Amino acid sequence: MQALLSFDQSPPISAPLRFFLTAPLFAMAAGGLLLWSGPDLFASRWTPAALALTHLVTVGFMLQVMLGAMQQLLPVMAGANIRRPLLIATVVHAAITLGGILLVAAFLTLQPWLFGGAVFLLAVGVMTFVAAAAYALYGVPTTSPIIRGLRLGLIGLGVTVSIGLLNAVSLGWGLGVPLAKLANVHLGWGFVAWGCAMLGAVGFVAVPMFQQTPSYPSWFGRGFAVSTLVVVALWTGAELAGWERSASLLSIGVVLVAATFALTTLNLQRMSKRPKLDAVQLLWRVAMVSALLACGLWLLARVSPTLAQWQGWPLLFGTLLLFGGFMSVIVGMLYKIVPFLVWLHLQNLGRGRLMAPNIKKVLDEKQIDRQMHAHFCAFGLLLLSVAWPQWFVYPAGLALIVANAWLLRNLLSAVAVYRSHLAKIEALDASPAAT
């Protein structure tokens, strides 16, 4: 796997870090929203608070981390250098952060001007990034599944955001589009064509490298990202055309694609050479199991009228997928990406005169373990909140705030290590011997 990486093309560390440090703040806001809205949030997936909570996680947490990670991964994993990375990072980060805040406020108040501001800012932020990344990837030969997955993941991201913005405009100005259908299509593109395709591309390198597993099978590398995009696109066409039977069959294919990624990853983890599971492996394992449970719940709701009539099952599905699946795997990614970034940049800046601290010394493993347990506690309480919101929504909100404040604290401690070591390098540069 090392041969697939190009460590000398890394952008400035502040480009991805600003995204990573912002994400926990949105997750903490999600906990605050739970405390503010109380049990009413879990009345339906369509309540304003439930929609706001969903987008605090998807736009505020997921999108922040995934775009930040791509700032780093495109040049390192694909040899695709984004031009003027700091400028792109500044514009994109400011736009999606302000846009995410306005979008959440819009769902809670249903004010058209808030939807308009959110649509404009999110469109500017995401499309700026997609254009910059597409330009960087232009001409890069598709020599590995990583490059193919990143390219197709960018398409998935563009379509996901476009559909979401159309929904937001319709909510603000009543355009009369089929909101329920478009919302389901939006979820399919976001969770599978963007989320799974991108995680598949990253996981192709990250899982074997960081978790000491065998490589993903060749069929997965060749076909997963393409299959994901094709199946979701076919399902979207059938869904919007009103071909109910075809749409129903293809929707099962969409779910099975996501389940394939989870099962394949779990099988690789089973063959890990590590003597015991560390926090990152546990986070990935919980994420994959949660994704499988979400897929199973969705399929069961298709065949069980009793389950389909329960208004809480979409909320349970969303909790499994968002908090147990995507949030868990993203936290696990952060605990590998951030220490690696600190080590890589300090190693490059030191130029052999001052060795960078060992990656394992950048973050305290005990603090990682404690934050992981806090995250799992919040996830468990959220699951219970779906069935018994009057009992568990407030503990869940508090736990979510604590878990993500802890995550932010851990990330800031890695930044402190970077700054401390950077000061030593600058002192060497300023010393008489250096001149």
State which residues of the chain have pLDDT below 70.
Answer: 1-10, 78, 142-143, 172, 174-177, 431-435
Domain boundaries, the chain: 9-422
Residues 6 or more apart whose CB falls under 8 angstroms from that of 374 comprise 399, 402, 403, 406
For residue 4, what pLDDT is reported? Answer: 47
Do 146 and 204 meet the contact criterion of CB atoms below 8 Å apart?
A: yes
Q: Check residue 168 and give its pLDDT.
A: 82
State how far the Cα of 433 lies from the Cα of 435, in Å rounded to an integer. 5
* pLDDT for residue 3: 39
Instruction: Check residue 146 and give its pLDDT.
Output: 79
Backbone angles phi, psi at 41, to 5 degrees: -60, -35
pLDDT at 282: 95
What pLDDT sits at residue 174? 64
pTM of the model: 0.93
Ramachandran bin of 357, using left for φ above 0, alpha for ψ from -120 to 50, beta for the remaining angles:
beta
Per the structure block, which two tokens stand in for 411? 């990330």
Euclidean distance between CA atoms 211 and 204, whole angstroms: 11
- The letter for the amino acid at 136 is A
**Residue 126, both tokens:** 């995401």
Instruction: Give me the pLDDT at residue 83, please.
Output: 87
Distance separating alpha carbons of residues 250 and 233, to the nearest angstrom: 10
* Torsion sign (Cα): 213, 276, 323, 316: positive
Instruction: Calculate helix-pair angle for 85-109, 64-78, nearest 10 degrees.
Output: 150
CATH fold of 9-422 reads: Cytochrome C Oxidase; Chain A (1.20.210)
CA-closest candidate to residue 196, choices 162, 158, 152: 152
Give the tokens for residue 269.
């983890």
Cα separations in angstroms, 360 against 196, 248, 336, 366: 28, 48, 10, 11
The pLDDT value given to residue 338: 94
What tens digit of pLDDT does each residue of 49-67 get? 999 999 999 999 999 999 9
| Residue 380: partners with Cβ closer than 8 Å, 6 or more residues away | none
Quote the tokens at residue 320. 């499994």
